[in-house]
Amino acid sequence: MDLGLDARQEETRAIAAELAADLLAPAAARFDRDGGAPTDHLKALGARGLLGINVDPRWGGRGAGVVAYVAAVRELAAACAGTTVGMMVTNMVAEAIQRFGDDAQRDRYLRPITAGEWPAAAFSLSEPGSGSDAASLRTTATRDGDHYVLDGTKAWVTSGGFAGVYLVTARTDPEQRSRGISAFLVEPGTPGFEVARPEEKLGQHASPTCQLVFDGCRVPAASRLGPEGVGFKIAMSSLDGGRVGVSAQAIGIATAAAACAARHLADQMQHIEADNADRQRELADCAIEIDAGWLLCLRAAALKDAGKPLIREAAMSKLFCTDMAHRVCERALRILGPDGISGAHPVERHLRDVRVTRIYEGTNEVQRIVIAREVLRAMARQA
């Protein structure tokens, strides 16, 4: 197995590293303090092909694949995790439109996403009272001639308020559970569709997260993504890929925190005569765990690139990398001492930013359930 990046993947990573250094890193502390939507930065990522990394060039994407995607996410997240999650969700929605949409939908939505005309696309599955158990969602889409009428409330929508298109799941058949759910592409400004104000949250302040309210919102039947009843499948397959992206995001945050701690330790070792063996051990543990996470992430990304199943590997990667990144940020704080929590170093931001990676794209408790189910299924197949 070749663990290096090929020329196309390396080109994508290098573009991300350049934009991370020039645009995202200088603004990260400001967004963390003041909030707001990094729409210009996201458009700049789009203009360089980073909002459709795994989208076919025929639709304006880079066509560079999933390994290239995680390499880019890692670079961007090390600079600003909040801006990066907007980029990640946009890539996820673009891939869903490419895979499940028809040519009219691809033409209408993929081109403005991949050209950076729109800052983002949004993915709206969760609802107040329906997150981990997504199949219990209550938003309805009722057929009315050549339209559907959407009614309900969606929660925690990343890039809500400035996305160019929203992938929204709603129940088209109340008699069925997951098979009664369909997906729709809803455009901002559609009457009956409103975005509530952003939620206040612990970290990732460069990523507004909003509620959406649908009240008699009529959308053309042609805006349905895929056939009726496959919306849950669309959402779940998107989340498998999404979990690989969250792994890379967590690794990026961990890499930035560990680098900060390493610089601090190296500086102290030059100037202060003290026993720092403990802190060197902490640094070693950070380096080992970051590399272990990257291997899990690369394996899941390579499986997706090869078109192979990745449910188990994506869940393992997401669970390990996000827990690991939390541990690394904690260790970085210990190495820095009081400086770590003072705001003099970005590590306190990294620690707040990393927490939510254990929640979205399926909480880590749910990932354990997914992994156990897949392990038991594999055993039953062998028996």
Ligand X SMILES: Cc1cc2nc3c(=O)[nH]c(=O)nc-3n(C[C@H](O)[C@H](O)[C@H](O)COP(=O)(O)OP(=O)(O)OC[C@H]3O[C@@H](n4cnc5c(N)ncnc54)[C@H](O)[C@@H]3O)c2cc1C
What is the 3-class SS of 71-105, one letter each residue?
HHHHHHHHHCHHHHHHHHHHHHHHHHHHHHCCHHH
Measured from the CB atom, the residue of 67 and 356 that comes closer to ligand X is 356
Reported in sequence order, the residue ranges of the chain that DSSP labels E, i.e. its strands, are 122-124, 140-144, 147-158, 166-171, 181-186, 193-198, 209-220, 224-225
Identified binder of ligand X from the candidate list 84, 126, 249, 255, rule CB under 6 A: 126
Does 91 help bind ligand X (rule: CB under 6 A)? no
The residue to which tokens 């696309």 are assigned: 121
Min dist. Cβ of residue 234 to ligand X (A): 12
Binding range to ligand X, per CB under 6 A, among 67-75, 117-125, 279-287, 292-300: 117-125
Interatomic CA distance for residues 252 and 73, integer angstroms: 7
Distance (Å, whole) CA 220 – CA 179: 21
User: Both tokens of residue 165?
Assistant: 């298109």
Instruction: Please identify, using beta-carbon distances, which residue of 205 and 299 lies nearer to ligand X.
Output: 205
| Per CB under 6 A, 38 contacts ligand X | no
Nearer residue to ligand X within complex by CB, 102 or 133: 133
Q: Enumerate residues 6+ apart whose C-beta is below 8 A from 202.
A: 352, 355, 356
148 vs 300: CA distance, rounded Å? 37
Given the rule CB under 6 A, which of 31-39, 216-224, 279-287, 360-368 is the region that contacts ligand X? 360-368
Residue with smaller CB distance to ligand X, 17 or 236: 236
Nearest to 37 by CA among 144, 111, 122: 122
Which of 252, 360, 370, 371: binder of ligand X (CB under 6 A)? 360
Among 99, 179, 201, 352, contact with ligand X (rule: CB under 6 A): 201
Q: How far is the CB of 125 from ligand X (least distance, A)?
A: 4
- Residues in Cβ contact with 283 at an 8 Å cutoff, skipping those fewer than 6 apart: 258, 261, 262, 265, 331, 335
Question: Which span sits near ligand X by CB under 6 A: 111-119, 179-187, 311-319, 354-362?
Answer: 354-362
Task: Indicate if 117 belongs to the active site.
Answer: no
Q: Which of 187, 282, 361, 374 is catalytic?
A: 361
Candidates 59, 69, 123, 214; binder of ligand X (CB under 6 A) is 123
- Where b means 16+ CB within 10 Å and e means fewer, 88-106 reads bbbbbbbbbbbebbeeebb
Interface with ligand X by CB under 6 A: which range of 263-271, 277-285, 289-297, 357-365?
357-365
Beta-ladder partners of 170: 182
Residue 132 found at the interface with ligand X (CB under 6 A): yes
Q: Which of 18, 107, 291, 365 binds ligand X (CB under 6 A)?
A: 365
Letters for 153-192 (x = contact with ligand X by CB under 6 A, - = none) are ---xxx----------------------------------
Show which residues are catalytic: 361
Per CB under 6 A, residues contacting ligand X are 89, 123-126, 131-132, 156-158, 201, 209, 356, 359-360, 362-363, 365-366, 369
